[in-house]
Structure 1
Amino acid sequence: MVGHAAEGQHIGDLPDAPPKLSPATEERNRRKIISFKVTHVLLTILLLWLTIVHIIGILFFAKGFLLARLVLDNKSECGVDPYGQPSAEFDGCWHPKTFDRAVIIIIDALRYDFTIPSSRFPIEAGSKFYLDNLPILHETASSSPANAFLLPFIADPPTSTLQRLKGLTTGTLPTFIDIGSNFAGTAIEEDNIVSQLKDAGKTIVHLGDDTWHSLFPGYFDSNMTRPYDSFNVWDLHTLDNGVIEHIMPLLDQSPVQWDVIFGHFLGVDHAGHRYGPDHPAMAEKLRQMNGVIRQIMDKLDDQTLLVIMGDHGMDPKGDHGGESDEEVEAALWMYSKKPRFGRIHENAVLPPATAKERPVGQIDLVSTLSILLGLAIPFNNLGMPIAEAFAGAGNTDWKNLAVVGRWAQSQISRYQEHYSRSRDLGLPQEAYTAQNTFLAQSRYAFEKGQWEQSYRAFIEWHREVISMYRQLWANFNLADMLIGVYLSGSALAFLLFFSRFLRGDKAGLAAGLVRSAGIGSAAGAATGAIVGTLLSAHFSLLTSVFVGAGAGGIAAAIFWSQQHHFAPKSYTPSAWGWMAFVFCVTQSAGFASNSYTIHEDTILLFFLGTFGIVALMSSLRQSSRPDRVLGTYQSIVFILLTRGASFSRLCREEQMPGCRSTFYASTNSSTSAPWQLLIPFSVALIIPEIIKAFYKGTASYAASAGFWIGFSVRMGLVLVAAYWTIDAVNNGDWLVDTFSSTTLQTIGITLARCALAVAIPVGIGTFVWAKPCIDISIAEPKGSVDASGNPARPQLTIFGYANVYGTRYFLVVPVFILASCLLLPPMGQYSIAILTWQILCLLEILDTNALTVTSNSKSSIGPIMLAILGSYHFFKTGHQATLASIQWNSAFVPLRTIQYPWSPLLVILNTFGAQIICAAAVPLVVLWKRSIEKTGLRGLWNDVLDACLTHILYYATIQLATTMWAGHLRRHLMLYRVFMPRYLMANGVLLIVDVVLALAALTSIRIAGLSVGEVFGY
């Protein structure tokens, strides 16, 4: 490692006795410390206030952007048909029932191709583990078409389990915002098939996934129902075995005490999340499901319907959440011991039906089950009955199809009428022309007894209706969206003005700014309350108060800043500042393109490479030889590390086939390749040595640095490596004959908790109580007198003085590094290790090129490059701006079950660990090799605040850009697949960075600053 400024600071002769401070000096130092602490509190309040403004802006835009439909609380009644007439049917509600009871089995993530034979696929796909292990469904549908049919079951994205359950029970199209409640579902209040069963006096039993109890509290029979925890994706067997254990006795009951059983298996889904679909564990789970289905079939009577279905599929890595074909194409199989089902002839409007059936929508299930079980179709249902369930054995029963189609059509028309009265869709009358034409044709043919023609027209009418709602049911509220953009834009303007154009003592003026913003927020809230009260017909009171508070606070802060410390001279950025500006603006503009958003990781690679090359050229021009050598060396290392990090990739579907994933063992796996287990051990060996080398470059590897970096961090990384080795042993069944899976899991959790103990209590405790990383050398005099003839005294030299601030503060960064490494697979640790090295290289580049943030140089390049580094390594740690790339299993690295709030926090740290590490490192662009004599603690606060605000400025710009582009492209084909996930990610990162800087970085600055100040008296 090339060093710089490694020599110690020569202080002078060692005095005979330590000098005693005068009372005035002690009082002055005491006041400095109090002022430093008060400033910290005020700056923390300032950043938290800015975070609240960001939250208000984000929530308002989301309120207008993510709302998709108005939920009507109307309910269908069994005794009243959709025309408002008393129902004349006694053996059912509106139509004679076909079955008395039903067993409805959801095999979570049952993809359609899991159920069909390998002969349907090319030869190279025939060896997949997920093929030919669940043959019962296809065999029955092929050999007994009157008893069973198998269909591709198309889910409406997003394909989270909670979202799909809502669609499967209400028959409605999903709204994107519901994806956010996947951690804790809320009860369904709109009409649904479960409530219809309850109203009909049916006894309902649920077994399995406890998500059902969040959606339908109090609906299930408490004596026979058995819920199980659903979120532990590492557990493949407990829930499934529990369902099997309890469902078989229920099927053997005599007399039968239940009417409908909902059984929800999760093993297939969990096997996909943990291993991917192409793994022996998936084959084992599918074989288990095959045996369970055979047992259930044997126990059914003629009056019981059996339904087997998947709620969604999975991608080649086993995840789901988006809308790729593999994620949305589940399987649906219905079975009756008595022949009741049929197929549609080839000359029908529907595609021909064979064992490889035509696809049907999941919204069609509710109307199908309702009519089969003699229930009223739920009021909000938008699906049409599945034709095969009503076509009849033998020749197609067109009359029955037309009758059930007419009941569904009349209910959908009733829903349309009520919805139009509640919310205007804003469509001209011409938009309904095609619907009205097909509806008139179907009714005319129905009255004439032309059953086939009537049914065809009903189907065409339904296609028009669904097409209309799919296009329009993102019912955007432009007013709320504009308010959100205005608040986010105002906050960005304040950030830009305050961080880049304002000169003066910002830290000293923090009290006045906070007070002004608080008064402005209060005045704005009061004004909003008055406006909301007077114009209650147009604005809600709560909306007006929040808008007023956010706008008033921002306006007051900008006005106060202009009045007190506005720089009259124009501010012209340096060449480095222009480069940071270009990086930020071009990236923001690029989010208007779906291809740019898809390949964002490549763009960030180009930005980092460009910076490295410019830094290399700048370093070569430095007049000081040590600066020239060190800057050149670190620039070259930075470029090589950037390119090295690019070898860690997780490709999103849109990047295929031009991208090859390396993050996991294969594109079909969620586990690491065996060779990747070398990475954590290499990280444990190399990273402490890298940090140690940078410390030794300024002779700072002293005091607590040796214990924390040389011993504790290394031991923590060794524990991390051991954990991931045990995880691989467990996943690969390498020692299955020696250790049980439970034993290995216990060992792994113990190792993970020990690693966390090293990272958090040991790491934080060391940082809080550590002294500056300095070493004092006392040299004995060579003679008895000095050059002046006075008695010689020992010479005092302080090693580490050149970087006392930077090395003291850096002790907090490994806390985040170690915690992130624990939660990331080996390739993720590879990326975090490179990120750590790159941060240190960046700090040396900034120092040798005089780009650190100081009172004389407000360079923005350091904070901006840290933000770009964090964004780049977000992708390199196995993430993408997609819901499917979230590594949910990180919640169970140190835990056995879901524990709030720890489980969500672990997932957040896993997902945004790179951005969190870079945010925590932002003060280092001020502190690294900073002289402590010049500006004291007050100047320190000013420069740190500049760096923090500039770092937030980058993320706030990205957030505003993605928000505006998502709003502008709200009708774009790729909205839900590309633009909205990136918009959600930008919002999340901005808020996380705000909180990290306010609560972690500023607090650490206070601790490090006081630590140095106590020793050196500044």
Structure 2
Amino acid sequence: MNPQAGIAEDGQRPVVKSTAITEERNHRNLISFKVTHILLTALFLWLTTVHVIGILFFAKGFLLTRLVLDNRSECGVLPDGELSQVSDGCWHPKTFDRAVVLIIDALRYDFTIPSHRGLKEPQQKYYLDNLPLLHELAVSRPAHAVLLPFIADPPTSTLQRLKGLTTGTLPTFIDIGSNFAGTAIEEDNIVSQLKDAGKTIVHLGDDTWHSLFPGYFDPNMTRPYDSFNVWDLHTVDNGVIEHIMPLLDQSAAQWDVIFGHFLGVDHAGHRYGPDHPAMAEKLRQINDVLQQIIEKIDDDTLLVVMGDHGMDTKGDHGGESDEEVEAALWMYSKKPTFGRTETSALMPPATAKERPVGQIDLVSTLSILLGLPIPFNNLGKPIAEAFTGPKNTDWKNLVKVEHLAQSQIARYQKQYSRSRDLGLDDDAYSGQRIYLARSAEFAAEGRWKDAHYAYVEWHKEVISMYRRLWANFNMGDMLVGITISALALGLLLVFSRFSTADKASSAPSLLRSAVIGTAVGAAIGPGLGLVAPSLFSVMTGCIVSSSICGIMAAMYWTIRNRTGARSYLPSFWGWMALSFCLTQSAGFASNSYTIHEDTILLFFLVTFGIISLISSLRQATTTDRVLGTYQSILFILLTRLSSFSRLCREEQMPGCRSTFYASSNSSTSAPWQLLIPYAVALFLPEIVKAFYRGTASYAASAGFWIGFSFRIGLLLVAAYWTIDAADNGGWLADRISATALKTTNLTVARCALAIALPVGIGTFVWAKPCINISVSEPRPVLDNPGAPPRPQLTIFGYANVYGSRYLLMIPLLVLTVALLLPPMGQFSIAICTWQIMCLLEILDTNALTVSSRYKSSIGPIVLALLGSYHFFKTGHQATLASIQWNSAFVPLRTIQYPWSPLLVVFNTFGAQIICAAAVPLTVLWKRPTGKAGLRGLWNDVSGACLTHMLYYATIQLATTMWAGHLRRHLMLYRVFMPRYLMACAVLLIVDLVLVVASLAGVRAVGLSVGEVFGY
């Protein structure tokens, strides 16, 4: 056999089943092959379940939620328990009868101020100077309008901000997870207080409000719109405008409060970034609408315009950068109402640092202005400018409303401490008592201004206390989660790297041991709930005990039943793989290491390439030496080439320059980047074809799938992004309508997906081995002259029959992921695909495959490093703001579950998914068909998959432990917690890919090859 050409030469026949091998034996082998697949799938699913349990327990202690109290404020009862004597309102005389509250989603503060404020030269940005109305009225008519920086509490996602804006409470970690599955707000809030007061409430716009407040809005006047189609800039805004104007025109208004939620500014930011003509157009539209609304409202109506959060330089949000938290708040009244404090006498300031107000302050402010009680759970204070009066002298009124808010917060503190049994000592309240005493003293002396500032300091103490209080972690649950994850990692390590037992044969016994251990643990689990009820409930005790006992039983069986004598010291390559894992895990203790993780991975991959180059130069055969050297050099060059694609996170600035988009202020690609998809469509199929031809395997389905279908699919991807760029840039606006362009693009995207999924999966499942059979003319047998001539049978591609057949899966994944990524992301994925094939040749020429006698772990580990590295190169970071939500709408018009979340997952973790699916190739590439039979195939494949899983489990445990250890670190929210969440998500996704793609793909390959060559 020629291992490079894959040709069965004269006199050497491949192992093809003859009539001597009975069909019964084939049938038994086939059944055994399928059963082994089922058992290995069950084993991997059990390991995934264990990972889920460990992650959930740690998250339960780490991502705490605050206790939501059911108490409600009453109109006739003051916070101190006294009956209210106010006739025109609840706790304080009302200022307005009605209100129009407009939320301009993602209205950043600097969108509302002139570009020349504080600058020598005006900035030329599309988001500047297009919404001048707010600033002009605040300056020219200060008694009628006030413009303030409106500081959001992270996370800056819309649903969490709406909760804060209506309840006046601080967010906690776990709330971020509900952004796409909002549940009704059951705690006291301003909307429910309006409903209880008999007010008619109208909502227009973002339908998120209806998931939070079901049944609160007047059904005849309310108009909700889908909120998650971020490519639609106009439908929601036009709908709000269409319905709000007739309501304001009514001579006898049938409404009391209108909530209007505009989404165009937010969607323009997500789609294009803030510095784009579309943003200027949306801001000008909002400016015109506000001008019309101002003309229509009367003296008894309060107009409030606000942003729920800002946006970063790319138009995204979710984190805590200055651009994301600094929104704008503007209040307007036709009658003189507003004043200024000393610190805001020159409002609006040039920056948001001079006089910011918290978003939690809005609830108490609106409640008092509209004559409502302050909601029970509110922690905000009244906004001073709304109560000092138009002459800036009514400090007594301001102190009076601040006293009401202070009394309500004190009542909340008392109830919350009692419900949670916090047991706080006096030191926790000492600062608050000092400032309260001062405020009472100043008020008694008539020093109302000093009393106000004492209340301000008191409020700072309260907020600081609750921020610390709600960062109290449940160490018990965190330790349980770490314990389960660590035991699972230990089992993975022992079974994948140290056990000498055949993994395919071991799967039934290992599963049996795990089941027995789980049953024993479930039996003794309720005892934990009885012995330590403060730590475990009965259900929790069962889960913890069954998980730990199941893992321990499986590990005991693995250690007890290893067979054969071998050295457990790793080879040089094993030490290198181990050092990669351990150094990366240790590095997550450093915020700077975590921030620059992409650079560290670049170093690891280049290091591997250099060492493989040195190793290849030492190979004995010329073929291995030349091929290994060439592929190693190519691997290094491709790694360096891919480093040019980057999306810098805020902490990397200014030493980093983003190249993923057209600029750091854009979410769209530069025009020249449109050449990339066409280059990928031209060259990538040829590159894959070259690797097939290297083993004479470009035959059967390979020609149709790679040479035709894959190329057509990539051309459709290129066409999609070209049309998308034309739509974004308005290149064809005069010739083709936006609707026709969008319909065309959807059709192109769906055709590409049809090639990738139905055609690709069908081809992979039912394809025959990629071989060609050549029969020559009969020739005499040289060693037997008397024998009759017989034909010579040559099978091309036989030397790589497993690898070439399995590789058909990779293009379908590449095509799917490429469709969802912008052009620079496709550049990275194409390089990743090329590197995977280079890695396979390096492993083969250096005898480093998992099926080789060295059983090297370097292949699966380098694939994991590649997946992690190209996660960053496809425009992602371990931050919420880097999620490319637009990918949910590539083939869809609206959000559709579960497809939209799956599209975002493929976009975000596409590199890890492709690399995980490629893990079996480290076993199958150029694998001899007769090597240890099908059971040996399963043994090697499962070992490679477990090793790949081992890497991600190590990273997950490391980030979990460091996040727990550094829970008081200043960079926890910004760096360590997002990286921990990403590690957990990646581990679970890789676990599922190994089950759904890798193991299932090996089954399809085994059945296909076995059907031709015998099982």
Q: TM-score under structure 2 normalisation?
A: 0.98
Alpha carbons 1:704, 1:773 under 8 Å: kept: yes
Please provide the CA RMSD for this pair: 1.7
- The code of the aligned residue for 2:830 comes to A
- SS of alignment partner, residue 509 of structure 1: helix
Alignment of 1:568-967 (within 5 A): 570-782=567-779, 787-854=784-851, 856-967=853-964
Q: 1:149 aligns with which of 146, 149, 153?
A: 146
More moved, 761-770 vs 173-182: 173-182
Q: Deviations over 1:734-763 (max 9, x none)?
A: 010000111111011100000000000100
- How far 1:338 moved relative to its partner? 0.2
CA distance in 2, matches of 1:433, 1:722: 66
Q: Distance in 2 between matches of 1:552 and 1:368?
A: 55
Displacement of 1:534 after TM fit?
5.5
Structure 1 residues 894-919: Cα deviation after superposition (integer angstroms, max 9, x where no partner): 00000000000000000000000000
Give CA-to-partner distance per residue, 1:532-567, whole Å, 9 cap, x none: 255445422221122122112111111122232266
Does structure 2 conserve the Cα–Cα contact (< 8 Å) formed by 1:351 and 1:358?
no
Q: Give the Cα–Cα distance (whole angstroms) in 2 for the partners of residues 153 and 7 of structure 1.
A: 69
Pairing 1:981–2:978 present? yes
1:993 match: 990
Residue type at the aligned position of 1:756? L
Once the two structures are superposed, what CA deviation does each residue of 1:417-470 show, in whole Å capped at 9, x if it has no partner?
111112244644223221111111112222333312211111111111112222
- Name the SS for the 1:120 alignment partner: coil
- State how far apart, in whole Å, the 2-side matches of 1:638 and 1:124 are: 48
Match of 1:21 among 19, 22, 32: 19
Q: Is the 8 A contact 1:168 1:362 kept in 2?
A: yes
- The alignment status of 1:311 with 2:299, answered yes or no, reads no
Contact in 1 for aligned 2:6/2:800 (Cα 8 Å): no
Letter in 2 for 1:80: V
Contact in 2 for aligned 1:13/1:796 (Cα 8 Å): no
AA in 2 matched with 1:259: D
The CA distance in 1 between the partners of 2:320 and 2:18, in whole Å, is 73
Aligned match of 1:174 = 171
State the partner residue of 2:384: 387
After alignment, is 730-739 or 854-863 more displaced? 854-863
Give yes or no for the alignment of 1:219 onto 2:213: no
1:129 is aligned to 126
The answer as to whether partners of 1:344 and 1:396 remain within 8 angstroms in 2 is no
1:240 corresponds, among 237, 241, 260, to 237
Q: Deviations over 1:895-946 (max 9, x none)?
A: 0000000000000000000000000000000011111112110111000011
Aligned residue identity for 2:738: S
Matches within 5 A, 1:114-125: 114-120=111-117, 122=119
Shift of 1:569: 5.2
Amino acid of the structure 2 residue aligned with 1:9: A
1:408 and 2:413 equivalent?
A: no
Q: Which residue pairs with 1:1003 in the alignment?
A: 1000
- Structure 1 residues 784 and 388: alpha-carbon distance in aligned structure 2, compared to 1, 3 A threshold: closer
Give the equivalent residue in structure 2 for 1:9.
8
Name whichever of 260-269 and 469-478 sits farther off.
469-478
Superposition map of 1:238-637 within 5 A: 238-345=235-342, 353-354=347-348, 358-425=355-422, 427-533=424-530, 535-565=532-562, 570-637=567-634
Q: Secondary structure at the match of 1:751?
A: helix
Residues 116, 123 of structure 2: 8 Å contact kept:
yes
Contact 2:476–2:535 under 8 Å retained in 1: no
Assess, with a 3 A threshold, how the Cα gap between structure 1 residues 152 and 19 changes in structure 2: closer, same or farther: closer
Q: Give 1:54's match in structure 2, choosing from 51, 69, 85.
A: 51
Deviations 1:54-85 (A, max 9, x none): 00110111111010421111111111111112
1:600-627 CA-to-partner distances (Å, cap 9, x unmatched) read: 0000000000000000000000011100
Amino acid corresponding to residue 9 of structure 2 in structure 1 = H
Q: Cα gap change, 1:227/1:85 in structure 2, threshold over 3 Å: closer, same or farther?
A: same
Distance 1:180 1:524, change over 3 A: same
What per-residue deviation string (whole Å, max 9, x for no partner) do you get for residues 181-234 of structure 1?
Answer: 111211111111111111111111100000001111111111110000000000
- Structure 1 spans left out of the alignment, 5+ residues: none
77-86 or 818-827: which moved more?
Answer: 77-86
Distance of aligned partners of 1:853 and 1:97 in 2 relative to their CA distance in 1, 3 Å threshold: same
Tell me how far apart the structure 2 counterparts of residues 294 and 4 of structure 1 sit (CA, whole Å). Answer: 78
- Name which of structure 1's ranges 563-572 and 876-885 shifts more when overlaid on structure 2: 563-572
Does the CA-based 8 Å contact 1:111-1:310 persist in structure 2?
yes
Asked if 1 retains the 8 angstrom alpha-carbon contact of 2:501 and 2:561, the reply is no
CA contact (8 A) 1:149 1:355 kept: no
What stretches of structure 1 move > 4 A for 4+ residues in a row? Answer: 11-15, 350-357, 424-427, 566-570, 782-787
The residue identity in structure 1 corresponding to 2:805 is: R
Superposition deviation, residue 658 in structure 1: 0.6
Q: Give me the identity figure in percent.
A: 75
Compared with structure 1, are the counterparts of its residues 124 and 846 closer, same or farther at alpha carbon in structure 2 (3 Å cutoff)? farther
Pairs aligned (count) = 1010
Instruction: State the secondary structure of the residue aligned to 1:261.
Output: strand
Deviation of 1:778 after TM superposition, in Å, equals 1.0
- Give, in whole Å, the separation in 1 of the partners of 2:96 and 2:457: 29
Instruction: Give the counterpart letter for 1:541 in structure 2.
Output: V
In structure 1, the partner of 2:29 is: 32
Change in CA separation of 1:725 and 1:426 when aligned onto 2, cut-off 3 Å: farther
What amino acid is aligned across from residue 1011 of structure 1 in structure 2?
S
Contact 1:155 1:362 in 2 (8 A): yes
Shift of 1:35: 0.4
CA displacement at 1:345 relative to structure 2: 3.0
- Equivalent residues of 1:517, 1:554 under 8 A apart: yes
Residue 833 of structure 1 deviates from its aligned partner by 0.3
Q: Aligned letter for 1:771?
A: K
Q: Check the 8 A contact 1:138/1:355 in 2, yes or no.
A: no
Deviation by residue 1:339-394 (Cα, 9 ceiling, x = unmatched): 01101135xxx786456561111010000001001111111111100000001011
Q: Which amino acid aligns with 2:846?
A: N
Q: Which amino acid aligns with 1:179?
A: I
> What corresponds to 1:70 in structure 2?
67
Greater shift in the superposed pair: 685-694 or 432-441: 432-441
Which runs of no fewer than 5 residues in structure 2 stay unpaired? none
Q: Secondary structure at the match of 1:206?
A: strand
Contact residue 113 and residue 348 of structure 2 kept, 8 A: no
Does the CA contact (< 8 Å) of 1:5 and 1:698 recur in 2?
Answer: yes
> Does the aligned pair in 1 maintain the 2:106–2:265 contact within 8 Å?
yes
Q: TM-score, normalised by structure 1?
A: 0.97
Alignment-mate amino acid for residue 324 of structure 1: S
Alpha carbons of 1:919 and 1:489: their partners in 2 closer, same or farther (altered >3 Å)? Answer: same
Once the 2 structures are TM-superposed, how far is the Cα of residue 123 of structure 1 from its aligned partner? 5.5
The equivalent residue for 1:185 is 182
Residue pair 1:13, 1:793 contacting (<8 A) in 2 also: no
1:331 is paired with a residue of what secondary structure? strand
SS at match of 2:9: strand
Partner of 1:43: 40
Aligned-partner residue type, residue 925 of structure 2: W
